[in-house]
């Protein structure tokens, strides 16, 4: 195990033990470790900062409420992402969030900016069963086995959705992809 | 295009093929324009997706999330830095 991963794993175990003992600093420690990743994931799923902040806070609130279920055996991160995902799905059902994020900021040349906005928009337009694997595997760089556990599906099913999702994204991007060739 | 090539293109797009298989597929694509187009557009799609900039978790967002936790009665204090990141100054005097 690389040193960083080992250190993170030890820190995670320490904070989870502390949480189980009712240490008031524990949730802060877990938030320091995972807040950034959960925020990024929820932002990419929901497409705007405010909803992502809301889903992030609710995710950590649920960690606290369900701390009796916690296990410091490496499954915590999967469990955390699963909570965040369920919250995102609830929010998407509530709001049908399909419009472009109002606060999105992109940099670079006009052509690249256009492409990024297009990719972001196309991603938001994809059905959730395709968006999920693309966000977890291609954007969050999560290993397929772990992403499959988050989504509660088999690895072959995840790969199938990932490949179909990429093809659906390609179809939506159509014209922009032609420009790049 | 048959299903086998379609699956190979899916793997090619995500750079999951071995170097040998990738070279073989590229060689076949030289004489198959439909395959070549699919390979190029699929790989460009995955590259465009993977080059999407990560949303920035700003200090303002960090604090707003903490405020929302406080508002719900949670004591989520900013944890002290782990000891290996703390500066230890020599005692002077």
d(CA A42, CA A20): 26
Q: Which residues of B touch A57 (CB under 8 A)?
A: 65, 68-69, 72
A63 torsion bin: left (phi>0), alpha (psi -120 to 50), beta (else)? alpha
Interatomic CA distance for residues A26 and A156, integer angstroms: 37
pLDDT at residue B50, as a whole number:
94
* Subunit contact A170:B52, Cβ cutoff 8 A: no
What element of type H or E holds B88?
Answer: none
Q: What is the pLDDT of residues A99-133, one digit of tens each?
A: 444 444 444 555 555 666 688 889 988 999 999 99
Nearest to B13 by CA among A177, A117, A47: A177
**ipTM here:** 0.76
Q: Which of B52, B57, B69 sits opposite A36 (nearest CB)?
A: B57
pTM for the model stands at 0.79
Instruction: Please answer yes or no on whether B49 and A57 come within 8 Å at the CB atom.
Output: no
* Tokens describing residue A174: 């159509």
Q: What is the pLDDT of residues A55-103, one digit of tens each?
A: 999 999 999 888 777 765 668 889 999 999 999 999 988 876 444 444 4
Q: Return the pLDDT at A112.
A: 57
Length of chain A: 181
The C-alpha atoms of residue A149 and residue A117 are separated, in whole angstroms, by: 30
Is A173's CB within 8 Å of B52's CB? no
Mean of pLDDT over chain A = 83
pLDDT tens digits, one per residue of B31-76: 999 999 999 999 999 999 999 999 999 999 999 999 998 888 777 6
Specify whether the backbone of B78 is left (phi greater than 0), alpha (psi in -120 to 50) or beta. beta
How many Å apart are CA A39 and CA A46, to the nearest integer? 10
* CA distance linking residue A140 with residue A120, whole number of Å: 15
C-beta separation of A124 from A47 below 8 A? yes
């Amino acid at each position: 195990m690389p040193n960083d991963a080992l250190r993170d794993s030890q820190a995670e175990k320490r904070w989870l033990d502390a949480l189980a003992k009712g240490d008031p600093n524990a949730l802060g420690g877990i938030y320091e470790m995972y807040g950034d990743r959960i925020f990024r994931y929820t932002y990419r799923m929901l497409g705007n900062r405010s909803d992502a902040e809301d889903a992030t806070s609710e995710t950590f609130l649920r960690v606290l409420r369900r701390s009796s279920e916690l296990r410091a055996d490496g499954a915590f991160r999967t469990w955390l992402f699963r909570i965040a995902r369920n919250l995102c799905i609830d929010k998407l059902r509530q709001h049908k969030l399909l419009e472009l994020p109002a606060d999105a900021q992109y940099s670079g040349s006009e052509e690249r900016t256009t492409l990024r906005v297009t990719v972001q928009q196309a991603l938001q337009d994809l059905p959730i069963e395709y968006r999920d694997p693309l966000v977890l595997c291609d954007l969050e760089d999560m290993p397929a086995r772990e992403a499959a556990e988050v989504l509660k599906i088999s690895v072959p099913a995840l790969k199938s959705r990932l490949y179909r999702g990429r093809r659906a994204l390609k179809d939506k991007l159509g014209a922009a992809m032609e420009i790049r060739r | 295009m048959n299903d086998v090539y379609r699956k190979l293109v899916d793997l090619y797009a995500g750079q999951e093929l071995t170097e040998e298989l990738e070279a073989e597929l590229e060689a076949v694509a030289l004489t198959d324009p439909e395959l070549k187009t699919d390979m190029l557009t699929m790989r460009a799609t995955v590259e465009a997706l993977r080059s999407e900039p990560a949303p920035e978790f700003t200090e303002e967002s960090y604090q707003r999330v903490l405020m929302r936790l406080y508002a719900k009665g949670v004591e989520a204090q900013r944890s002290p830095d782990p000891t290996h990141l703390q500066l230890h100054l020599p005692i002077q005097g």
